[in-house]
Structure 1
Amino acid sequence: MSHFEREELDSFFAEMQDVKPITSNDKALLHDPDAALAEKQKRASQQIQVRDTLKNPLSMEGVKPVPPDEFIQFQQPGIQDGVFKKLRLGKYPLELAVSLAGKTLQESRELLYKQICAGHERGIRALIVKHGTGENSKPFPGLKKSYVNHWLRELEKVIAFHTAQPMHGGFGATYVLLKKHPQQKLINREKNRKG
């Protein structure tokens, strides 16, 4: 090594003597896997919300007012009268309660749609929707009740509904009967085969 090279090297080490190596804790992470995953999940959830809003078939138009103290009922063709009577009398176990209290019409629309779809996926047959009587609602009395009456008829998963018995909320609530989930039909078929 020449004299000049040695001086260069000594000069370099003299300049670097107070520099310390970076410890593993001091690393600047340009990629944070946890933050990236959280961001990805947030974007996915926003996309699902947008998709759900787009595919929610419940309409806000053409709703006929229903008086607060009037029964609402619906029965798809082919639903046996005995099944409908059992629903009307509140004899089905209510596996889910959907409360629309304190919600706007738009929030009620979203909640009702999501809960009925989720309930159907879980194999729920009967549920109750608590919409209140809306005696003082604007622009007309029975506003939410009227929308629930309208919306439930738009959902193909709903095969019947009826105003609840007084013990379950009377005119302020509605029993809803859902179609059997295809998976539930298979389970029932297996049970019947074994029995």
Structure 2
Amino acid sequence: MHDNDDDFSLFAEQMRGVKRIRHDRADTGKPKTDLKQLSSLRQNATVAQTETKVDGLSDQFVIDVGAEDELHWARDGVQESQMRKLKQGQIGFDGSLDLHGMTVEKARETLWDFIAEATRFEVRCVRVTHGKAARLDGKRPLIKSHVNTWLRQHPQVLGFTSCQPRHGGTGAVYVMLRRTMLEGRDE
């Protein structure tokens, strides 16, 4: 019994000044990736792709922009220095898409497919030409306004900015994409 008393007093002495933890939940760090769940999510995403084309890029609130308006947007966490390089045309684009003359629906679908393909090939930057022609009814450019809205909604888009004059100026945008294999290096 005597040893236990010593152990207790030794323990009490060691614990002097230590605060008692009030909650009983352990922080186990990041939750582990459930590969089965990931696989089923991937399958569901493939199956639901036709629905996503409409749901993923919404026209509910289209940001109206003028023919000569410069476009510039960056997702939170994207460094301003990266956006400056993008704006100056210092990040080479691998792939171009021209949406001239398309209907809004066709442009949305084509843009969605184009970004999906670029992502698949781990492309860092692409150019999208939206044009800037005003509509016959005198309203602002239709496709340009939609592209400006859609790109902000696309999960793979890190940022975009109007091109240098040699690449289309305010009639086109450079689009910086997230690269999944190199996660963390782009943001």
TM-score, normalised to structure 2, is 0.68
Larger-Rg structure: 1
3-state SS of 2:94 partner? coil
Q: Whole-Å Cα distance in 1 between the matches of residues 47 and 70 of structure 2? A: 35
Matches within 5 A, 1:1-195: 51-56=48-53, 57-136=56-135, 138=137, 140-181=139-180, 183-185=181-183
- Give structure 2 stretches of 5+ with no counterpart: 1-44
How far residue 104 of structure 1 moved from its aligned partner, in angstroms, is 0.7
How far residue 134 of structure 1 moved from its aligned partner, in angstroms, is 1.8
Contact 2:163–2:172 (8 Å) recurs in 1:
yes
Q: Which has the higher helix share?
A: 1
Contact 2:135–2:142 (8 Å) recurs in 1:
no
Deviation digits for residues 32-75 of structure 1, max 9, x if unmatched? xxxxxxxxxxxxxxxx9984321121112210210011011111
User: 1:158 is matched by which residue type in structure 2?
Assistant: V
Q: Whole-Å Cα distance in 2 between the matches of residues 50 and 81 of structure 1? A: 37
Question: Structure 1 residues 95, 76: CA separation in 2 closer, same or farther (over 3 Å shift)?
Answer: same
Contact 1:132–1:172 (8 Å) recurs in 2:
yes
How many percent of aligned residue pairs carry the same amino acid? 30
- Give structure 1 stretches of 5+ with no counterpart: 1-47, 189-195
Q: Whole-Å Cα distance in 2 between the matches of residues 152 and 61 of structure 1? A: 14
Q: Whole-Å Cα distance in 2 between the matches of residues 185 and 64 of structure 1? A: 30
Contact 1:53–1:110 (8 Å) recurs in 2:
no
Match in the other structure for 1:33: none
Contact 1:137–1:143 (8 Å) recurs in 2:
no
How far residue 135 of structure 1 moved from its aligned partner, in angstroms, is 2.3
Q: Whole-Å Cα distance in 1 between the matches of residues 107 and 169 of structure 2? A: 19
4+ long deviations beyond 6 Å: none
Count of matched residue positions in the alignment of Structure 1 and Structure 2: 139
CA RMSD after TM alignment: 2.2
Deviation digits for residues 140-164 of structure 1, max 9, x if unmatched? 2211110000000001110010011
